[in-house]
Each structure stands twice: as structure tokens, then as C-alpha cells.
Structure 1
Amino acid sequence: MESMTPNPASTNIHAGLDTTPPKPASDTIVPPYWQRHVRNNSSLNTGDSRRSAIQLEDHTEEDSEQSKALWARSARIDDYVIVRGTPPGIGAYVVWNCLVDTLDGGSITLRKRYSEFLTLRKNLARTFPKSEGAMPPLPPKSIISNFKPKFLEKRREGLSYFLNCILLNPEFSGSPVLKEFLFS
């Protein structure tokens, strides 16, 4: 074992201890991420110094299994209706007016309650347990703010995002679970 000589500038005078960190041995292994990365000439673009732009590709005309499952272009929730219960204040609920635009130019109009979105998410998670991470969470519930416009607007945005993510995912878009939600 090597003995270390204290550096007078780094010796703790009060305790008589050396606080200088030990120098690494000459045969120390250097982690690969510390080493300088060298590119070979084949990976360098010698012509244009600008990076290439992102290219979007339209695969809707392809006959792959994934593209066959896709049938929706977009979904949105434009507004909602508060259905009042009788007597007033008891049994009220919100119905969301959803519009799904299809790839063939048509559209589907849906009227759904929040509880139906909850059921859809639960059934999709049960049917596709390994893909639950691809499903965004639904907006939270609230007992107090249920009918306040600000709360309803945030919920509308969250439900619209959820519906788009589900409809535009080829794994979910062709599933019987989603079809049951859309056509019931």
C-alpha cells in the first residue's frame, strides 16, 4: 500500500488530518462517457451544414395491419350540456358533445357522460394491460366544482385529448371495447 505525504496547504491544522483527495493511480479505468467521441468521415455530412428537416410521411394508403385499424382523423369535444335533475340540484349531470372526423370524410356525433369515459379507460386497460401507459389519464373528478365553467372547460380539454389519443392509436382504434363506447 502506498503512503501518502500530506500537502502542507491542505492539512487540517486543528485535527492534524490531510483533507486532500487522493490522486488516482495511473492504471485507473476511464469510463467510456468521459472519453472524447470521434466521428468517422462516413457519418459526417460534408455538403450542407444545415440539419435536415423532419419529414412527415402519410401511410394512410398502405395496406398494413396498423393502417387498416386507423379510421379516425381527429376527435374533439366542442361543448357540453348540464342536464338538471328533478328536484333542482339533485341528479344533475353533464353530457359532452363529441365529434369524431373519419378518414373517409364523414363524422360521428357522440353524447357521452364522464362516467362512460371512465368505463372506456377501465375496459381498455383490462383488454390491453401492457399498453396502459399509452392511455393518458382522464381529468380528475371534483365534488365541489362539478358544474363550474372553469372546471368544465379543463375537463373538456382533458377528455378531448384522451379521446384523440385513443382513436388515433392503431392498437385501440379497432378494438371492440372502443366500438362499444362509440356505438352504444
Structure 2
Amino acid sequence: MNAFVTALQLSVAAAFVSIPVVRARFGATATAAARAELDRQGVRTTVLEENGMRFDAGGHETWAPVAIASAVGATAALGLAGVAWAGTASWIVLGLVLAINLVILYSNLTATSSVRAAFARKGDPELARIDVAALLKAAESGFPRWVWVLQNARHVVVFGAAALALITPALG
């Protein structure tokens, strides 16, 4: 049972690590495509960096998924080591992972409106005139098509494996 739950936890950790790996590999291409779209729109291409918008593996796009994967990996190690409170730690960590993944899924689904709203809050007229949907579509074109499949598979793995890792001990 511990090995099965550990395997589930490690699959959740791997799913989170896939985010910075993909962004590290293809983020520069996505950024270049986004900059080209801004240039096409007549907007200064530095506006992304000036406003903290990234498509690469920098910043929170790396430290957050790596921290989550590390926390999940640590609870898996505690379970394998037979630490008495490993189950409680797993419940806490995996519960948080499920909540965090819901936020990630929501942000993926509402990216255009969220970016538009964030740009509006800045009060910069140049940001307000950006066609955000075109900008995000251009950035997305910098990633291979299979990344969309990976992104959705990642959600399935995180939600499914985390939920199964939480309920399996109760069934045993």
C-alpha cells in the first residue's frame, strides 16, 4: 500500500516538475512569438518584462512547481520511511496540491480575461490597447502542439493521483 501511494505521490511531483521543464525548453520561442505579436500591434516589445509577464521558466514558473514537487516528494519519503505522521502530512500537502491545481486550471481557462484585467489595473494606455487574445495565441504558438496535451494530462494526473493517494489508505 505504501509503495502504491508513494508512486501516486511521485507522479504528482513529476507532473508539477513538467511545467518548468517545458517552459525552460520552449519559453524563449514563446516569448519571441509574443514579442513579434506586440511589434505587429505597434506596442513596445519590452512591455512584457516591464510588467512581469513571462513565458519561460523564470520566477514563480520554476520555484512554485519545484517547491510543490519537493513537498509532495518529501511526504512520499516520509510514508516510505514509515513515519507515524506521514499520513497526516500527505493529507495536508495533497489537499493543498488539489486546491493549488484548481487555481492553476482556473487561471489557464481565464488567461485572456485575467491578463486583460491585470493590464487594465496598471493604468498604462499602451497596455490597454494590446489585443491580449492575439498576444496569448502568439505565445502559445511558441510551444509545440503536444504541450496542450501534456498540460491537460498533467491536470488529470494531479487531480486523479492526488485524490487516489488520499483515499487509498482509507480503503486499506
Q: Same fold (TM over 0.5)?
A: no
Give the structure with the larger helix fraction: 2
- Structure with higher Rg: it is 1
Compare relative contact order (CA 8 Å, sep 6+) and give the higher one, 1 or 2. 2
TM-score, reference length from structure 2: 0.34
TM-score (norm 1): 0.32
The structure in which a higher percent of residues are strand is 1
